[in-house]
Chains A and B, each alone.
Chain A
Amino acid sequence: MVEDTAGVRADVELRLPAEGAYASVVRTTATGLAARLDFTIDDIEDLRIAIGEATALVIPVADPGTDLTACFFFGRATLRISLETQAMDDPPLDTESFAWQVLDTMAQEVSAGPASGRFSVSFTVKSQAAGRTTGVEL
């Protein structure tokens, strides 16, 4: 489900146990990157919520003892995030779930679902402060 970024090297990649306790690490990393990329406080708030819901979609379906891979792709005033884990029984995406509804509202280009033993959630957040020179060389 990460076809739009497939083959592209992630700017930042994070691998950690697929357990609820590590969700905050993904969140902290994401907000830290967004601050570096000059996202506004509001954008970062939205991102923080989006990450929380995305992890709530991915972590429960992860096979026990597997890893969660978080990839961050920097764009022009955008940040694309993809969370992926191993789920051998290809669990379907529950689009009725609260987490999905919220994520779909908070982020753009949201896609999620199982694909050959992997379950992934990808989404993009945009900065309102577009046009301002960022502190990061893209």
Chain B
Amino acid sequence: MSVDNTGGETVVTVTEVAFDEAALTGLEQVRARSADLFAVLRGEEESPASRAVARDDLVHLHLSLVEHCARRFRNRGEPLEDLVQVGTIGLIKAVDRFETDRGVEFSTYATPTVIGEIKRHFRDKGWAIRVPRRLQELRMQIGGATGDLTQKLGRSPTPRELSEVIGCTVEEVMEAIESSHAYATLSLDASDDSDDGPPAMLATLGVADANIEHVEVRESLKPLLDGLGEREKRILLLRFFKNMTQSQIAEEIGVSQMHVSRILTRTLAQLRTSLEQD
């Protein structure tokens, strides 16, 4: 974006608008600012540079609209960030196509464009394979008929029963059902057979943390450690957390290595018996 060299100019405009129309609500401010920017963008006598800045600013100004639209499509298996990205492309298209003399607000014009772009993303990218419209429609018919028949039969219907109700062949029913699986086609254990590809889904699932059982031990040890003398605590710390040898500890504290050894043994035995008593 070429905002840097001309950025100062833009900021001035913001302040002016904000000052002049301080009484206006946030929405009205955005609308007024949007109208100003479109005047610059479509202005015959404006320089290409300032028109480019106006275009950038218009996109930035309406990013919250994109986010709002994208949020309506979250939890459908696509990351929100991706939806915001494609939605922003829709917004840029809307900025370029918007005609100010139409008499509608830009946000009114942009919303369907942004949502259209997000929907297109789902249609093109969401399916592992592209499913013909004929099958998508049949799939919806099957959905409806399955509900009715399940009520009537007290169990899920067979493809033959569905085909009789809908008036198509068993093959077509199967084809349509098959197509609805194009959205998620793999076992969790499957990987894509390439070395640099993503690992199998299963590999990314969590397992019980092996350290979880240490929590209990640690929690029971805590009060016991608190009950130890200063010197004992210090020796334990040096030995088990700083990984020092007994000789190093002896030097650090100023006692013999034999003494350190005795203290360590005694302290550990003490902790163990206290733990077992509990």
Q: Which residues of A contact B (CB under 8 A)?
A: 20, 23-24, 28, 31-32, 35-36, 38-44, 48, 52-53, 55-56, 60, 97-99, 127-129, 132, 135
Contacts and interface: CB of A to CB of B under 8 A. Distances in A.
Given A32-B174, A35-B174, A48-B181, A40 B160 contact: no
Given A53-B189, A98-B189, A41 B177 contact: yes
Given A20-B193, A35-B174, A97-B189, A41 B160 contact: no
Interface in B142-179: 146, 155-160, 162, 170, 173-174, 177-178
Contacts of A36: 170
B188 interface: yes
B159 A135 contact: no
Contacts of B155: 40, 42, 128-129
Contacts of B173: 35
B202 A41 contact: no
Contacts, number: 63
Contacts of B187: 23, 52-53, 55-56, 99
A41 B157 contact: yes
Contacts of B193: 20
Contact of B158 (A38, A53, A55): A38
A101 B131 CA distance: 32
Contacts of A23: 187, 190
B270 interface: no
Contacts of B205: 98
B185 interface: yes
A115 to B, nearest CB: 22
Contacts of A99: 187-189
A41 B189 contact: no
A67 to B, nearest CB: 18
A44 B159 contact: yes
